[in-house]
Amino acid sequence: MAKLYFTYSAMNAGKSTILLQSAYNYRERGMQVMLWTSGHYREGDAETAEICSRIGLEAEAHLYRDGLDLFDVIGARKNEGPLDGVFVDEAQFLESQQVWQLAHVADRLGVPVMCYGLRTDFQGKLFPGSAELLAIADQLREVRTICHCGRKATMTARMDQSGTALVEGAQVDVEKAQYVSLCRRHWEEVTHIHP
């Protein structure tokens, strides 16, 4: 029975590497997969982009944008021939209804869906896609990374050029900011956010 999986972590834990390795394993066994990544912060009308890992692995993927019905697009692809798995990078940017569409891919089309993304933003708030995935995914997996102190990093801080933590601004800023994975204690120390 196909399932909806959500693999999450703080920044720079290797989620894209795991996704690309898993997709490679499927393909190596002669299975057909569909890769997706977010068009959230990409300009233009391109329909594909590269999923790139920090260690140099990469693969072409379809872009999802707000309003795209993933169930319809993936269903049309499945009608063309075998489809053994769907892999979604940057799943935190999915809209709530897109998460449900992916659940329907697993439940109604019988295709496993593996989503990879951040759990929280730089302010410690859940991303909408992550919140929905945490609520309805069949299986949750955490990829662990470490803070500079050696403890498990569960938070992500957004830093400016001078190394000062930013606590205001848009939820997504991939062009100008640097992100650092920290344990909760050090995240609170640098951000001074105390929920």
Residue 190 lies in a domain: no
135 vs 177, residue with greater confidence: 135
- Strands 33-38 and 58-64 turn out to be parallel
Q: What pLDDT does residue 110 have?
A: 98
> 163 pLDDT exceeds 70?
yes
C-alpha distances (whole Å) from 110 to each of 21, 47, 84, 87 are 22, 25, 9, 14
Q: How many domains does the chain have?
A: 1
Residue 160 lies in a domain: no
| Size of the chain in residues | 195
Residue 173 lies in a domain: no
Q: What pLDDT does residue 45 have?
A: 65
Residue 179 lies in a domain: no
Q: Which of 48, 72, 69, 70 is nearest to 60 (CA)?
A: 48
Q: What is the pTM of this model?
A: 0.91
Instruction: Show which residues are catalytic.
Output: 90
Angle between helices 70-80 and 96-109 (to 10 degrees): 30
> 9 pLDDT exceeds 90?
yes
Give pLDDT tens digits for 20-43.
999 999 999 999 999 999 987 666
Residue 42 lies in a domain: yes
User: For the residues 5-25, what does the mean pLDDT come to?
Assistant: 94
Residue 83 lies in a domain: yes
What's the rounded Cα separation, in Å, for the pair 117 and 133?
10
For residue 67, which phi and psi values (nearest 5 degrees)?
Answer: 90, -15
CATH of the domain at 124: 3.40.50.300
DSSP code for 12: T
- The pLDDT > 90 percentage for the chain reads 73
Q: Which residue has the tokens 């997706």?
A: 36
Residue 108 lies in a domain: yes
Q: Give me the domain span that covers residue 53.
A: 4-143
Give pLDDT tens digits for 39-81.
876 666 667 688 878 888 888 999 999 999 999 999 999 999 9
Residues 6 or more apart in contact with residue 168 via CB below 8 angstroms: none
What's the rounded Cα separation, in Å, for the pair 33 and 82?
9
Q: Assess contact for 87 and 36: CB atoms under 8 A.
A: yes
* Count of C-beta atoms within a 10 Å radius of residue 94: 28
Give pLDDT tens digits for 167-179.
887 777 666 568 8
Q: Which of 195, 47, 46, 40 is nearest to 129 (CA)?
A: 40
Considering the chain, what is the average pLDDT of its residues? Answer: 91
Please state whether 30 falls in left (phi above 0), alpha (psi between -120 and 50) or beta: left
